[in-house]
Structure 1
Amino acid sequence: MTAAPPPGKAPLPTLDDFPLKSFDTIRFGDTDRQGHVNNAVFSSYLETGRSQMLIGPGHRAAPDGFSFVIVRLVLDYRAEITWPGTVEIGSRVSNLGRSSVGIVQGLFQDGACVATADTVLVLFDPVSRRAAELPPDSRAFLSRYM
C-alpha cells in the first residue's frame, strides 16, 4: 500500500500514467556499500527509458545527422532500489518547444514509485554546435508520447 502524500504534495505517479513503459535489469554492480542501488545509477535507468523513446527499432526521433542532448535533469529520489530484480521505467513527453522536448519519467520497483524525473532535451546540430528547430516529423513522432 502506498502512503498518502503530505498535504500540498501531488501523489506519486503509477506506471500506468506513462504511455511508454520499459525496464532495466538491476545488476549487483549497481549497488553500493549500503546494499541499495547507487544514486548515480538512477540516471542510467532513466536513460534506458529515454533511449527507447528516441532511438528504437525502426525509428529515430531526431533527423539524420542530429541528436538530442540533455540541458536539464531534475531527479527526485523517493525510495531505495534493491538488488536483485528489475526496475520499470515510465516515460512521457510533457511538452514540445521550438527546439526542446520535455520528458517526465518515473522509476518503479515492485509497483512502487522509487524516483521521478523531469528532463529537458534539445535537438543538437553538430555543425553549428547549437540548438536546432524540431522538424515536423520529429514533432509528430514525439507528440504520440504526450
Structure 2
Amino acid sequence: MNDETKGLRLEDFAGQAYDKLRYGDTDRQGHVNNAVFATFMETGRVELIYNPQDPLLDEGFSFVLAKLDIDYIAEVLWPGTVEIGTRVVRVGRSSVTMQQAVFQKGKLCASAETVVVHFDEATRKSQAFSEAQRAKLEGWISAG
C-alpha cells in the first residue's frame, strides 16, 4: 500500500457499487480468489459508466478494457459483500484512466488502476469523446 492508497475510503469515490460474495469465489486458502478481484473492478466500472439513468455512450459505442493493474492489500473473506469505489483520474482523447478500490467492512482490500477506451463498434477503432462526454467524465474525477 502506498501513500496514494493508504487513506482511501469508499466515500472518496464518485461511483459506488457492491458485489455479493459467492462460496465458489473462494480458494483452498479459504479467502476470495485473486482472479475474482477483476470481476469486482468490472462491477464498479460498469455501474458508473453504463448507468441507464445517466447514459454516457451513444448507440453503437462501448468501452473496451485496455489496462487493469491490481494491488492486493488484504484478503477478502466469504460470506458477505464487498464495496467497490470507482473514480476518474484522467481523461484522454478517447481513453479514461480510473482509480478503483475494493473494501470489505470498511477495510481497504485492493486498489487498481484501470484504463478503458471509447470504442466505435462499427469501425472497431477508438473514438474521441464528445465535449458532453468529456464534461461528464471530468465530473467523476472528484467524489460524487
Match for residue 108 of structure 2? 113
Q: Which residue type is aligned with residue 136 of structure 2?
A: F
Task: Give me the identity figure in percent.
Answer: 46
CA–CA separation in structure 1 for the residues paired with 2:63 and 2:14 = 20
- Secondary structure class of the residue paired with 1:93: strand
2:69 maps to 1:74: yes
RMSD (Å), alpha carbons: 1.3
Correspondence 1:50 to 2:18: no
Distance 1:63 1:32 in 2: 40
After TM superposition, give the deviation of residue 62 of structure 1 in Å.
1.9
Is 2:8 aligned against 1:13? yes
Uncovered stretches (5+) of structure 2, i.e. residues with no partner: none
**Partners of 1:63 and 1:138 within 8 A in 2:** no
Q: CA deviation at 1:135?
A: 1.2
Report the Cα distance in structure 1 between the residues aligned to 2:32 and 2:55, rounded to whole angstroms: 30
- What per-residue deviation string (whole Å, max 9, x for no partner) do you get for residues 3-27 of structure 1? xx6xxx3124121221221111111
2:60/2:122 contact within 8 Å kept: no
Q: TM-score, normalised by structure 2?
A: 0.91
Aligned match of 2:84: 89
1:135 paired residue among 109, 130, 139:
130
Distance 1:54 1:86 in 2: 22
Deviation track 1:92-145 (CA, whole Å, cap 9, x = no partner) reads 000110000111010000111000000111101122221110112221222221
Contact 2:32 2:77 in 1 (8 A): yes
Cα distance in 1, alignment partners of residues 62 and 12 from structure 2:
27
Measured in 1, the distance between the counterparts of 2:23 and 2:7 equals: 27
Per-residue CA distance 1:45-72 (angstroms, 9 max, x = gap): 1111101111123232222100000111
- The ranges of structure 1 where at least 4 consecutive aligned residues each deviate by more than 6 angstroms after the TM superposition are none
Distance 2:129 2:36 in 1: 30
Of residues 107-116 and 121-130 in structure 1, the stretch that sits farther from structure 2 once superposed is: 121-130
TM-score by length of 1: 0.90
